[in-house]
Chain A
Amino acid sequence: MKKFKKAVSLLAAAAMTATMLSACGGSDANQGADTQEAAGAETTESAGGTETSESTGASFKIGAIGPSTGGAAVYGIAVQNGADLAVKEINAAGGINGHQIEYNFQDDECDNEKSVNAYNTLKDWGMQMLVGTTTSGCCIAVAAESANDNLFQLTPSGSSVDILKDNDNVFQVCFTDPNQGVGAAQYIGTNAVAEKVAVIYDSSDVYSSGIYEKFAQEAANQPFEIVSAEAFTADNKTDFSVQLQKAKDAGAELIFLPIYYTEASLILTQANGMGYAPKFFGCDGLDGILNVKNFDTALAEGVMLLTPFAADAEDEATKSFVSAYQEAYGDTPNQFAADAYDAVYILKAALEKSGAAPDESVSDICEKLKGAMVEITVDGLTGEAMSWDSDGAVNKAPKAMEIVNGNYSLIQ
């Protein structure tokens, strides 16, 4: 019996070593001649897949990271699909400088540690540029790694300023949180939307608390007053009656909601239930509120939001993007998908400007792209004439939208 146990534990130990060895062996092969095969495997894997390059020339390898499983999967899948769509379009139109693009998306479960693992997986695959990561927290962790490798990173939706700090290889497509907070405060102030403002925000979320802080700072310079600022956390985000009651008692005429649309839809419903009808003002996280299931969209009537993208906008580019997206993935794209779609086109513009070739080293491409990013201007779905500072933040005008008759309409 004891001998048996010993033998089993020895076997298990051997198995462990074998696992480690085989892990290394497998990846070693990946780096070598099997790259083609690995790329082929990825093709079938990423929903719909990337078209294998027809041309014999080398191709650009673009990686993307986001949560495609777990609670934040909506955002990760949107980025995955948005970037995939752009890659397919570019490949069909002949690629970048005549080179096709290979695309690989990895799941990070919205966890910093897993995100770094996903980044390393992509590096083994041979990634030259990263479109990611989707969420701010993970992006900070990955940006430190990519800065270390000098690998060009363009995040579609990681909006924290910490991403850009000390990392000159990282650029953003979306606004930074401070920009959104300051922008919202200035908009409310200059347009005299309200005098007494309440805020309900998610203190456990980087995005939400980041916007709130800057909003509160800027509010001091604006002709309105924050009468109540109430937080909730990811653990209790279903009942907002306390926060709403406080806002009501303080006499707030407007409630600022720097949060995502799921919670916002609950807040609107509960405010209606208690007979409280202030104005609501949100940021890009509110985009998507009209698609919430079992939500009476009449309640969202008159909600104002600062967002770079609205799926029912009337311009030509948005229309064709939305219809192509719906056709390919059977879903209405949200702002994350649009950001990712833009990110790939921004990469294309920067690559064309810099004249980088796929056979250059990762670091060389990064240096060239860094130079090109500050020179290009891109018209995308999420903003016209987007340009970048050398620190990586985007310059584009925020669009203020109002929900009228169940549709987003631009406030002039």
Chain B
Amino acid sequence: MKNFKISKNMKDNVITYGIVIAAYVIMQILVSTGHVSSLMQGLLVPLCVYVILAVSLNLTVGILGELSLGHAGFMCVGAFAGAFFSKCMKNVITFGLIRFVLAILIGAVAAGIIGFLIGMPVLRLRGDYLAIVTLAFGEIIKSIINVLYIGKDSRGLHFSTKDSLSLGLEPEGDVIINGAQGITGTPKDSTFTIGIILIILTLIIVLNLIHSRDGRAIMSIRDNLIAAESIGINITKYKLMAFSISAALAGVAGVLYSHNLNSLMATPKNFGYNMSIMILVFVVLGGIGNIRGSIISAVVLTLLPELLRGLSNYRMLIYSVVLIVMMLFNWSPKLIDLRKRYSLKRLLKKNREVQ
């Protein structure tokens, strides 16, 4: 029985990795043979970003069982930390890949530390209360970044929270983070290949964590806090572990995001609570606790508004309707019953074919 369990996990994981690698290979072949439109090529990196975000949020929501609405805030920290580093080091480290890897590490560490700090007070709460407090923290992070001015000249770094004039820079000094105007001129280091590598790393971290001893402890907290406490599981430690790993991975996605665009601003659109909810939608649609589902739903929901461009002004309306229909189709109990009833025959046939 035990052996069977492990092999089932293995099989499950292999399918997940397989999907990612297959998608990568197919896309690479199509790109190299010139069958991919500019729109799709431009979407490849954002797809990787959203997949990483969805998988990492699933760690908090699905595995730890806590509703977090501040995920975009951690992404924001990672994005700005990474972009700040890259902009500072643009002329020092000229080899793009090394600079980018360092930026990713810095973004992950920064977001992880912020996740740890926020997690300490916040994870004492449960359920709705936690959701609301994380929502607030996400907004605080965004607001702080919007008033932050950092400049660099020969005397070093200058900080201000008023405006870029009060930095007192030398004439040749460079304003790196210009408050609400954010960072412009981030080198475009993100590529699809790096994005896929990061997705696979994220999957390795998350899937291994889930199936490890620590992961079991985390899931026991989700399933029954009191029972977990009673057998001596260190609740705070495991909660913080899951929360900060999830934050650090969101930071990685942020770095990938910021190095794909020339200008980075913390607007309500990209790092506000709307984005946090968007990521939560990916997770819920894909199935809470289902990592593979998160990947698929992140890809589908990111592609959908772009593929609907042909519908012009009705596009966002149709997008919302499709979202509702998909949610109902996937999770409405009545529809699940219906699907079971009507697909059984086909299912049996398929199984026979497979065998």
Contacts and interface: CB of A to CB of B under 8 A. Distances in A.
Mutual binders A and B: yes
Interface of A: 3-4, 7, 9-10, 12-13, 15-17, 19-21, 23-25, 27-28, 30-31, 41, 45-46, 68-70, 106-107, 109-113, 116-117, 119-121, 123-124, 137, 140-141, 143-145, 160, 162, 165-166, 203-206, 209-210, 212-213, 216-217, 229, 233-235
A299 to B, nearest CB: 28
Contacts of A9: 15, 292-293
A216 B165 CA distance: 9
Interface of B: 15, 19, 22-23, 26-27, 30, 35-43, 46, 143, 146-147, 163-165, 179-181, 184-185, 188, 257, 260-265, 267-270, 292-293, 296, 299-300, 303, 306-307, 309-310, 312-313, 315-316, 340, 347, 350-351
A41 B179 CA distance: 42
A4 B316 contact: no
B269 A20 contact: no
A371 to B, nearest CB: 25
A120 B163 contact: no
Grouping DSSP codes into helix (H, G, I), strand (E, B) and loop, the B interface class, with mixed when no group exceeds half, is helix
Contact of A203 (B19, B26, B180): B180
Q: Which 9 A-B pairs have the closest CB atoms?
A: A27-B37, A144-B262, A140-B263, A120-B42, A120-B38, A120-B39, A204-B180, A123-B38, A124-B37
B263 A137 contact: yes
A357 B316 CA distance: 37
B37 A30 contact: yes
B36 A27 contact: yes
Given A4-B340, A235-B268, 13 more contacts: A3-B351, A13-B296, A20-B299, A21-B26, A45-B310, A120-B42, A120-B43, A124-B37, A137-B181, A140-B263, A141-B261, A141-B263, A209-B180
B66 to A, nearest CB: 25
Contacts of B163: 203, 209, 212-213, 216, 229
Given A45-B310, A117-B306, A123-B38, A16 B165 contact: no
Given A7-B347, A9-B293, A121-B39, A113 B46 contact: yes
24 contacts: A15-B296, A16-B296, A20-B23, A20-B303, A23-B37, A24-B35, A107-B312, A110-B269, A111-B270, A113-B46, A117-B39, A119-B42, A120-B38, A120-B39, A121-B306, A123-B38, A137-B263, A140-B263, A162-B181, A204-B267, A206-B265, A209-B180, A234-B268, A235-B268
Given A30-B37, A162-B184, A203-B179, A13 B261 contact: no
Nearest to A123: B38
A28 B35 contact: yes
Contacts of A143: 262
A160 B179 CA distance: 14
A120 B41 contact: yes
B23 A17 contact: yes
A138 to B, nearest CB: 8
Nearest to B257: A113
B307 A7 contact: no
Contacts of B42: 116-117, 119-120
Contacts of A109: 269
A68 B316 CA distance: 11
B88 to A, nearest CB: 18
Contacts of A30: 37
A205 B292 contact: no
A25 B180 CA distance: 40
Contacts of B268: 234-235
Contact of A41 (B19, B310, B316): B310
A285 to B, nearest CB: 15
